[in-house]
Structure 1
Amino acid sequence: MGEHSIKDVYSFEKQELLKNLEPQDKPLAFILGGQPASGKSNLANTIIRQNPDKRFLFVNGDIYRSFHPHAKDLIKDPRTYSEKTQIFSNFFTEELIKEAVKNRYNIIVEGTMRNPKVPLDTAKMFKENGFYVEALAISAPAIFTEIGLYTRYQEEINFQGVGRLADIKSHHSAVDGVLNSLDALYNKKVVDKIQIYSYQGKSHIITFEQKNEQWNFDVLPSEEMIYSRDKQLKDKEMIERIILRGEKMLESMNGEIKNNLIDLLNELEKHLINLEQNYPRGFKR
């Protein structure tokens, strides 16, 4: 599709996307990061709970893929859907961020942070326009979220007949990209705060906060992310839940996607067996 056609769609949808938003004297910007299926939407819910009196423009590129005129046909091939709708995702995201800056709206931007330049430039733009800026990221082991890609896809199919499968290459690049992005935000000091949460946003891990242009912790965010990922890979109960969820979805899967999930579940099951041998469970009385 040409840019002119995309602009027409955006112009039609914009009013609905921006409704009920009001300019702020001190606007807030939250930039979310983490690989696909890590639980970033739970971070957005946390922000909203912590700011019950505020309204936010919520920007998530995946939402805008459905505005493609041929989205219903394109989604039938989950392997190419993301690529063929990417132009809608990018255009809507960029334009909505511009609207937030111009009108000083509170905003939450959800992304993967796979390319450090994107969150860095976004944070700079917000800061230069008088926003208070926070970055929040999910620390999740790669195998947890890769399994999550397939299980989420099948759950969507079971629920609504179609599902979106995130690009696996984008997933892999985000695993390392989020580390580099957080370190860039830290080193350039373009955000006021960096918060890290565990897989699915279950628990808060650490908060980096600037005071007098100095961070409260003299350690890179990537180090905390890596440490947390390793720690979660020792959480037997969480691993068991992920395996059970995946096995349940296998019952309604077929083809290449099913084989990919089987391989990943086998890998995680072997890891769990090794954990049981090296760290046997204690008995509760």
Structure 2
Amino acid sequence: MGKKRLKHRSLFLLGGQPGSGKTSLRSAIAEETQGNVIVIDNDTFKQQHPNFDELVKLYEKDVVKHITPYSNRMTEALINRLSDQGYNLVIEGTGRTTDVPIQTATMLQSKGYETKMYVMAVPKIESYLGTIERYETMYADDPMTARATSKQAHDIVVKNLPTNLETLHKTGLFSDIRLYDRKGTKLYSSIETPAISPKPTLERELNRKVLGKEIQPTLQRIEGKMVQNQHQGTPEFQAIHQKLESLQLPPPPSSNTPKIPGL
């Protein structure tokens, strides 16, 4: 594994709505730990289910909910084993609830861990487009196992995350809570401003107005992938195509084309 066990070890819990780019948080943590950290990512265990191929044939696009209990058990087992051995750990989540972060932080603190939480602060339209792009990329690779995220599931996290993060801040369980944008810029640290909740900064970023030209490259990438996957008939494609046209031409008087909220 190439990682060292430590007397003073840290747990990093990651948070952020689907599509926000939580993987980029690993760079900041790798720099902080000089690379001496193990990432536990629930998603990586899903395709390791012993009956994965059979379940894909049986359930097709619904396979994820049938293999998640297995990946959850794998994640819990790894957390227990590696924390007993004293490794720095990164555990990815969303922040949709407070129960799991509190339970995990409490358990690892009892084993001598310093617990931290790093969260992505990304405008909701950017992260929602991120879920679409991720799905189209995965679909091109394997349509049966492409992981779709509904807008409803995305928006639930967007709605709950600021308040949940404030709740976690108040518990005092975390030595540092940080907010990062997609460029890797730190927007907030509870060490630097312990009396200030992360909630206002996160809400401001989630609801920040994004200019069309800022998301134009993303829209163009997604449109190209949707054409490749022959998804031109979906409401999402029509909304993205219409938005791209509006960035190049004077807007039409009216349109009945379905619209993605925020575009």
Q: TM-score per shorter chain, which class?
A: 0.7 to 0.9
> How much is the aligned-residue C-alpha RMSD, in angstroms?
2.9
Q: Using the TM superposition, give the Cα deviation of residue 271 of structure 1 relative to its aligned residue in structure 2, in angstroms.
A: 9.7
CA contact (8 A) 1:112 1:174 kept: yes
For 1:59-74, list aligned pairs within 5 A: 59-74=40-55
**Compared with structure 1, are the counterparts of its residues 172 and 31 closer, same or farther at alpha carbon in structure 2 (3 Å cutoff)?**
same
Are 1:28 and 2:36 matched, yes or no?
no
Give the share of equivalent positions with the same residue, in percent: 21
What CA distance in whole angstroms lies between the structure 1 residues aligned with 2:23 and 2:49? 22
2:180, 2:243 → 1: CA distance? 22
Q: How does 1:86-97 map to 2 (within 5 A)?
A: 86-97=68-79
Partner of 1:244: 220
C-alpha separation between the residues in 2 aligned to 1:143 and 1:80?
Answer: 25
Worse overlay, 173-182 or 155-164: 155-164
Q: Which residue of the partner structure matches residue 92 of structure 2?
A: 110
Q: Distance in 2 between matches of 1:272 and 1:120?
A: 45
Alignment partner for residue 131 of structure 1, among 81, 99, 113? 113
Moved over 3 A (4+): 19-22, 72-79, 159-163, 266-273
Contact persistence 1:68–1:88 (CA under 8 A) = yes
- Counterpart-to-counterpart distance in 1, 2:241 and 2:199: 28
1:119/1:181 contact within 8 Å kept? no
Q: Which of these residues, 155, 172, 179, is aligned with residue 196 of structure 1?
A: 179
Q: Secondary structure at the match of 2:234?
A: helix
| Bigger share in helix | 1
- Aligned residue-pair number: 247
Partner deviation per Cα, 1:35-86 (whole Å, 9 max, x = no partner): 222111111122113322x422211111110111232354566641221111
2:27 pairs, out of 45, 54, 59, with 45
2:26 maps to amino acid: A
- Deviation at residue 185 of structure 1 after TM alignment: 1.6
Alpha-carbon contact 2:190-2:196 (below 8 Å) kept: no
Q: Measure, in 2, the Cα distance between the counterparts of 1:20 and 1:165.
A: 31
**Which runs of no fewer than 5 residues in structure 2 stay unpaired?**
252-263
1:162 CA displacement: 5.7
* Deviations 1:90-114 (CA, angstroms, capped at 9, x unpaired): 1111111111321111100011121
| TM-superposed deviation, 1:32 | 0.4
- CA displacement at 1:118 relative to structure 2: 0.9
Which residue of structure 2 lines up, in the alignment, with residue 207 of structure 1?
188
Whether 1:224 and 2:201 are equivalent positions in the alignment is: yes
CA distance in 2, matches of 1:143, 1:111: 20
Instruction: Please give the alpha-carbon distance, in whole angstroms, between the structure 1 residues aligned to 2:55 and 2:121.
Output: 31
Give the 3 Å change call, closer, same or farther, for CA 51–265 of structure 1 in structure 2. same
Does 2:149 match 1:174?
no
Superposition deviation, residue 266 in structure 1: 6.1
- 1:235-269 deviations in Å (ceiling 9; x for gaps): 444321221122111212345x9614225526866
